[in-house]
Amino acid sequence: MSRPNPFNDSSGKETTCLEMLQAILDGDATEEQQQYFREHMDKCKPCYKSHELNMQIKQLVKSKCCGSHVPPDLVEKIKSQFNSIS
Amino acid sequence: MKSGPGGAWASFAIIKSSDPSPILLLFLGFMEETQREKYTEKEKISVFNNEFLPHINSMYNFGYRLTLDEDDAKDLVQDTYLKSYRFIESFQKGTNAKAWLFRILKNSFINDYRKKSKEPNKVDYQEVESYYNSDDVDRQITTDLRVESLQDMIGDEISNALNSLDVDFRTVIILCDLEGFKYDEMAKILDIPIGTVRSRLHRARNLLKDKLSVYAKKMGYKNP
Ligand SMILES: [Zn+2]
């Protein structure tokens, strides 16, 4: 009695693990789909492992690639420039 | 973070500010949604200060990740804000200002910056699509990169790996993973169909993983 996969669209085609994983990673999954995928990972080791790895990369990208600091004079420069055209 | 109800993005025109050549008009967005907002001077300044300027950190980071140069990033951001003010009437109140700004920045990058730079242009999108379609599910699922090896990447490995990707792949990772844009927003920012956003992201993630697994190997991790 497995419930219908909420990732499936109206085409009736069964959504693959890869497609589910991508929707999750890309932030395109609904609450219901996320819940379904969490339960799916309990039964599907490849999905579990891939999800863990990919989410970690995503986290690392977030923590390591956001650090460029705006030069302090940039806002002032922009403001003065736009004062001169407004 | 969907764009507001109606989600309408007005078309807007960009006039190159620094280019003495005949005015270049780029009509962007959805031609059927060409209504322009009316703003008083006071409103313009308020929108600029309250809706545009707060995104300057993200904008600068995006500019930097595109150009990989601090001065170029500065110029790009400055130029983007100048354009955002000049074409503020094309910005519809209540819609997603950040996505609108990102789109201007990305277009400025392509039209003004990329033209001058030596960066090789464009990925072969045909190739991207076919890669995606023929992609083996197992490739995504079984990679030789392991979580444990990532935990030691505390230096610049991640940033370097990202920067080493082709700019089109770098861009989708930034938009999705750093800025949290949704498929439909990325499609509008990049002027590509949603299906292409999805396949490009997929390919970008695999390329990033490949780079990281090269680093992992260098760091001495044995792969199974
Ligand atoms: Zn699975």
The answer, for A39 touching chain B at a CB cutoff of 8 Å, is: no
* Closest CA relative to residue A65, chosen from B109, B218, B153, B166: B153
**By mean pLDDT, which of B123-127, B165-169, B198-202 is the weakest?**
B123-127
CB contacts, 8 Å: A50 with chain B: 140-143
Q: List the domain boundaries for chain B.
A: 7-116, 125-218
Task: Provide, rounded to the nearest whole percent, the portion of chain B with pLDDT above 90.
Answer: 47
User: Which among B40-44, B104-108, B207-211 has the top mean pLDDT?
Assistant: B104-108
| B65, two tokens | 């990740």
User: What does the H/E/C string look like for chain A?
Assistant: CCCCCCCCCCCCCCCCHHHHHHHHHCCCCCHHHHHHHHHHHHHCHHHHHHHHHHHHHHHHHHHHCCCCCCCCHHHHHHHHHHHHHC
Lowest mean pLDDT segment, chosen from A38-42, B12-16, B26-30, B125-129: B12-16
Ligand 1 centroid to Cα of residue A17, in Å, is 4
* Nearest residue, CB atoms, B85 vs list A64, A66, A86: A86
How sure is the predictor about B148, in pLDDT bands with cuts at 50, 70 and 90? confident
Structure tokens belonging to residue B68: 């990989």
Does ipTM surpass 0.95 in this model? Answer: no
What stretches of chain B show up as alpha helix (H) in DSSP?
Answer: 41-47, 56-67, 70-86, 97-108, 114-116, 125-134, 137-141, 147-150, 157-164, 167-173, 183-190, 194-218
User: What integer pLDDT is reported at residue B15 of this predicted model?
Assistant: 36
Q: Chain A partners of B137 at a C-beta cutoff of 8 Å?
A: 16-18
Residue A10 lies in a domain: no
**Cα A28 to Cα B186: distance, rounded to the nearest angstrom:** 12
CA distance B83 to B80: 5
Contact A60 B65 (CB under 8 A): no
B125-218: CATH class? mainly alpha
B60 touches chain A (CB under 8 A): yes
What is the number of structural domains in chain A? Answer: 1
**Is B21 a residue whose pLDDT tops 60?**
no
List phi, psi (to 5°) of B101.
Answer: -65, -40
pLDDT in the model for residue A67: 67
Query: Which residues, in sequence order, are CB contacts of A73 under 8 Å at separation 6+?
Result: none
Band of the pLDDT at A84, cuts 50, 70, 90?
Answer: low
CATH number (3.40.50.10380, 3.40.718.10, 1.10.1740.10, 3.30.230.10) of B7-116 reads 1.10.1740.10
Cβ atoms B81, B44 nearer than 8 A: no
Full domain range(s) for residue A57: 17-85
Whole-number Å distance between alpha carbons of B111 and B79: 12
Q: Residue A49 pLDDT > 60, yes or no?
A: yes
Q: pTM for the full model?
A: 0.80
With cut-offs at 50, 70 and 90, classify the pLDDT of residue B25: very low
Tell me if A58 is assigned to some domain: yes
Q: Please name the residue that has the structure tokens 């109140």.
A: B93
CA distance B81 to B75: 10
In a domain, A7, yes or no: no
A15: left (phi over 0), alpha (psi -120 to 50) or beta: beta
Give the mean model confidence (pLDDT) for residues B3-30. Answer: 36
**Mean pLDDT within B107-128:** 64
Give the whole-angstrom CA distance, residue A46 versus residue A43. 9
Of A52, A64, A78, the CB nearest to B78: A78
